[in-house]
Amino acid sequence: MVLKLSPLVLGFWRLRKWGFTAQEILALTERAVELGITSMDHAMVYRSEAAFGEALALRPPMRDQIQIISKCGIRPQGFGELGAESVNHYDFSKAHTIQSVEASLRDLGTDRIDLLLLHRPDFLMDIGEVAETFAELKEAGKVLHFGVSNFTVHQLESLQSALPDPLATNQIEFSPLQMSPLGDGTLDAAQRMGMRPMFWSALAGGRLFRPKTKREVAVVSALQGVADEVGAMSIAAVAYAWSMALPSRPHPILGTCKIDRVEDAVSSLTLHLSREQWYRVWEASNGAPVP
């Protein structure tokens, strides 16, 4: 089955902070789906899945309208869900991955995860063991597709070499205030491998709305200048359009809990920046023009 994610993805990392009821989670999700945002980003470590599962239980047909993304492999100290952790660590062992997926399925109240990502690279990753784990989860119908998050190009290529199917994505941090993937090969690799990346903190975790440093002020001013030129609703819409202008065709992940901000984000899908507008934002972030 082909994985089809929506161009924009809705992220639930901050769900516990929102303090939403199940009904409020459902309302946000339903509106997002109406707007064409059908891919929902979770992780076992966000502790967002049980609350989302309760929201889904209010409207079971919603499950077939969305794609659920979950992540595994981070074990914070004292996290407690799957046992006592004495130190923050990563764990891509077969036993832990399977336990984590089982916990996610139980909390979400579903029989399948559409896309499972290895959350942050585990330095003790045994690529053969990961391949076996993926095969077992796929065979059981518990996970339909696999990908990674925060992987370097070498880590990505190493894991890919052990797998029969292409990894679906590398979910990475990218925004006008985090441009490292433009220069470290991550986005070149994504393009070469035909793998659409996903961008987390595409609005720099909200820092675009409270600029403090000279660099942040310059970036916001450049985004505002472009917004005025193209008639965008907000600098957020320009920031998303700026990310989506990349030829690897990334999926930005929205981190907002506000329906009007989700609607605003959708307006970015019809914005097109010229090369000069794109480079003006790049230059503001870089602090100097291209040579």
Ligand X SMILES: NC(=O)c1ccc[n+]([C@@H]2O[C@H](COP(=O)([O-])OP(=O)(O)OC[C@H]3O[C@@H](n4cnc5c(N)ncnc54)[C@H](OP(=O)(O)O)[C@@H]3O)[C@@H](O)[C@H]2O)c1
Minimum CB separation of residue 64 from ligand X in Å reads 21
Distance between CA atoms of residues 45 and 19, nearest Å: 17
Considering only the stretches 21-29, 93-101, 251-259, 274-282, report the one whose residues sit in contact with ligand X under the rule CB under 6 A. Answer: 251-259
Could you confirm whether 46 is annotated as catalytic?
Answer: yes
Give the C-alpha separation, 147 to 73, whole Å.
12
Residue 2's closest CA among 144, 199, 191, 164? Answer: 144
Residue 116 contacts ligand X per CB under 6 A: no
Which residues from 171-190 bind ligand X, rule CB under 6 A? 171
Q: How far is the CB of 53 from ligand X (least distance, A)?
A: 16
Closer of 134 and 200 to ligand X (Cβ): 200
Burial 215-238 (b: 16+ CB within 10 A, else e): ebebbbebbebbbeebebbbbbbb
CA–CA gap between residue 107 and residue 57 (Å, rounded): 11
Angle formed by the axes of helices 49-58 and 22-34, to 10°? 80
- Look up tokens 């996610």; give the residue: 104
Q: Is 75 helix (H, G, I), strand (E, B) or coil?
A: strand
Quote the least distance from Cβ 195 to ligand X, whole Å. Answer: 15
- Check binding of 38 to ligand X (CB under 6 A): no
Closest residue to bound ligand X by CB: 255
Q: How far is the CB of 103 from ligand X (least distance, A)?
A: 18
Q: Among residues 25, 97, 96, 100, which one has the least CA distance to residue 62? A: 25
Helices (H), 117-253: 127-139, 153-160, 180-183, 186-193, 214-230, 235-244
Among 167, 202, 222, 232, binds ligand X (CB under 6 A): 202
Residue 67 beta carbon to ligand X: minimum distance, rounded to whole angstroms: 13
Q: Site for ligand X (CB under 6 A): which residue of 261, 267, 269, 278?
A: 261
Short-list 184, 150, 138, 145, CA closest to 5: 145
- If one asks whether residue 211 binds ligand X (CB under 6 A), the answer comes out as no
Please enumerate in sequence order all residues whose Cβ is within 8 A of that of 137, keeping only pairs 6 or more positions apart, or say none: 97, 98, 101, 116, 143
224 binds ligand X (CB under 6 A): no
Residue closer to ligand X by CB (options 142, 264) is: 264
Binder among 253, 271, 281, 284 for ligand X (CB under 6 A): 253
In the bound state with ligand X, the residue whose beta carbon lies nearer, of 212 and 275, is 212
Task: Convert residues 131-170 into a mask of x (bound to ligand X by CB under 6 A) and - (unbound).
Answer: ------------------xx--------------------
Per CB under 6 A, 256 contacts ligand X: yes
Q: What is the DSSP string of 31-56?
A: HHHHTT--EEE--GGGT-HHHHHHHH
Q: Scanning the structure block, which residue is given the tokens 């979950």?
A: 70
How near is the Cβ of 236 to ligand X at its closest, in Å?
5
Q: How many residues bind ligand X (CB under 6 A)?
A: 24
- Residue 112 in the binding site for ligand X (CB under 6 A): no
User: Counting contacts by CB under 6 A, is residue 200 touching ligand X?
Assistant: yes
Indicate which residues carry an active-site annotation: 46
Binding interface with ligand X (CB under 6 A): 11-14, 41, 149-150, 171, 200-206, 209, 236, 253-258, 261
